[in-house]
Structure 1
């Protein structure tokens, strides 16, 4: 019986093992930590954001700053609908939330972990934890995997290690080219009076742009103790991960808190001024922002909160609108996003055959998951890439005569 060694007991490794034909292969998973599926456990705040309700591969690839061209063919063979179907066949109910993220009905990542553990138990897959791989040697037709728990011989290696520098070094030693790692998905550190002491203030739809990089994103945003976060920020951090690393996370960002042009905002202001001349500006609800934030805007615009709306001069109005719609901030660093840390960089995609995720350099060697130079914005997309890639590997191996 041929031996498959899967290096890495995370999402891609387990999904691959769960889909392999155990009558053809003896399957062993090697995991260096004491627990398997650690990212699955903490994803989505412990609820596991399994995938995203986007069922058209052409639309789906738009969420991947790196890997979008290569993943198109992968997603035409296995996409979020197939993921839902796969779990459904195993009696796991999933639900689509309002923002299209998909979670187990149970709201617990343990449901997903247990499903995988059941699958591999049925298939007699051997899992070795606390087993760190030191080196992989090519031996004629086979591979010798040297690990802390001894040596393992493999007819096929499936490399799903995640993006640790050590695992990238190991595959580089086998001849693969590595694209340098940089963080993706991070929040921006900003010190500015406008954001001071109002952490937790959120905006349903904000627009952000980095003029120097000619790039913009929109989406929900939140003020944190460090600066700014939320999808509008995380998306721009993912798409510009490499450029932001180059400028050492020091750059100017322009924020429009209300997603309205200055002209439209001015019109709203003028209309309000006409219909509520006697109202004090501090108590006026002109825009969709919290009271606390509105008063902070007035404060940094140096406007007396008790002034009547009618007395606000043209110049004062312009200052308020500039701070609301075109506020410039200096970003002076980054904070990585919770535990769902994602990196850009990894194995060069030109060296992978995306029909079956096999290495173009090493025979009988497959690569999937975060070790590849593929990453996505937040929302279940990184997991979907893992499921789809792992499924392709399993199909390819199951179909070998």
Structure 2
């Protein structure tokens, strides 16, 4: 049977064999549970570039987004009822903002340009004396666009406005120390860096200690107290730590690998001369995400055909799979609905090879 080729790493990543071994070992040995939990948190914090105490453990990236936003926004003074996000956020952010809007908060949804980048002048105009909270992505999960979080964060910090960044697609795919960024909180997830599903995290800056206490009260468990040891998914948490340790060791090599493969893929698509349009071609985009529009075939049909040919790809966010409407991200960058429905996302990863891309291009040639 022909090997299946996985090209959907932005949706999820396979668990590394070393991580799986650690998880299985944790199920067998419960004698050193508390010590191993602390070691795991240290490994997670090391990858993030912060102190152990700045990390809260959650069940996933979406929960991190959901709980953080609700906790912060609902603690704002009454005269700070204006909150800001962008039109291209993940559903776990946008849906919360829409609910908060129904609850009476004034919400501004920042528009993006044709490459998916927030217009900074529009952002500056949007922030006012009633603004209390801003949330945006680091990298967009569908088109790979990187937002100018450093510029936005510095502007907001000078005005003492809480800034949250959805970093789910960024951790392991860019080298940074979160404690050195001008942000107040960042969400991340284990299964986007070759760890287990069902584990996520939140970085909260040291200055927001009171907010951490509120967050912990909202979370199903917390590694900040020994009283919760036996209610946690301890093996998965230890596996999360192992995945972070491996990512910290080879992050630079991993990023270089992705960038090389991405350029190889883009060049191969262009060499097809098939009138395929690549979306959001910024130089600082995510190193492993390529989104492109097919000339005629709709993306759902293409994805089904590619699946039967042995390739796992996607039409966008895994959290929006099955949606009938076109991607809100692709519509926001100016594509018409019919055009948005002809777009595929290819996301590369640790185990992708040039041979995998060659085989994918051969299959794509058949379709177009």
Fold similarity call, TM over 0.5:
no
TM-score range, shorter chain: under 0.3
> Counting helix residues as a fraction of each chain, which structure ranks higher?
2
> Counting strand residues as a fraction of each chain, which structure ranks higher?
1
TM-score, length basis structure 2: 0.25
TM-score, length basis structure 1: 0.23
